[in-house]
Amino acid sequence: MTATAQRPEIVSETFGDPADPAILLVMGAMASMLWWPEAFCRQLAERGRFVIRYDNRDTGQSTKYTPGNPPYTFEDMVDDAMRVLDDHGVAKAHVAGMSMGGMIAQIVALKYPERVSALTVISSSPLGVDTSKLPGMSEAYRKHSAAGGDVDWSDRRQVLDFMVRDARAIASSLHPFDETRTRAMIEEDYGRSGGLASATNHFALKSEGPKRTVQDLTVPLLVIHGATDPLFPFEHGEALANAVPGARLVRIEGGGHELHRNDWRQIIEAIATHG
């Protein structure tokens, strides 16, 4: 089948027994499936879950488009998540999203509640709720992010150096930053993706906006949020949990905007016992 803007090729990978309850992992902006580390996925599968991770459009080995003018919307990425479940014959899954993936996951649960058994949102912000009074990204991260506009995204060295600096900028304030491991993963992502320029399309996406709010959720919600997240401060996680009756909020002490290995046990335990 020929991939098109409406029906791209979305590459995915699974871990565990297909007979176990499924969990679909949705990663954030510019991030391929590799940002859900393989060891993290395997540990989650060992908790009796059929784990599915995938490359968003414009990342990894999924369909890519010319940088600067993506011919798809945020809502198309929501439908991509459902297509991944269809590809694996999964009728219903626990959907877990991180950062922009957390926003995708919220809309998935609102648009396709019959396909979602539970929802986990990590390091994200509530949709359809007034967040104007919540704190914005830290000034330090704002300055770092602005520097991304000066990066030549066709220059491998510039891209790798910037992405490592980005990972450091959003890292835990409690645990050490492993630059060697981080750079190796980003180098793998760059090579596997054939460059990261197309991934910048995620910042140019248009959205119709949610037709409903998270207050309309009908599935159990788990919110996991780092206490020192510089991109979406902890108050965003609190606002999301407070907007949904019965939601559970797990605070990662010292946690940044990442899945730090030292926090995996707490995160995996929370996900595996949810829904």
Q: Structural domains in the chain?
A: 12-272 (3.40.50.1820)
pLDDT digits (tens, 9 = 90+) for 152-161: 999 999 999 9
Angle at 190 between CA 141 and CA 228, to 5 degrees: 25
123 noted as active-site residue: no
Instruction: State the catalytic residue, choosing from 229, 236, 263, 274.
Output: 229
Write down the pLDDT at residue 210: 56
Write down the pLDDT at residue 90: 98
Mean pLDDT of 195-216: 85
Instruction: State the catalytic residue, choosing from 257, 260, 263, 274.
Output: 257
257 noted as active-site residue: yes
Q: What is the identity of the amino acid at 100? A: M
Higher pLDDT pick, 214 / 23: 23
| The model scores a pTM over 0.85 | yes
32 noted as active-site residue: no
Judge contact between 127 and 210, C-beta under 8 A: yes
Look at residue 146 and give its three-state secondary structure. helix
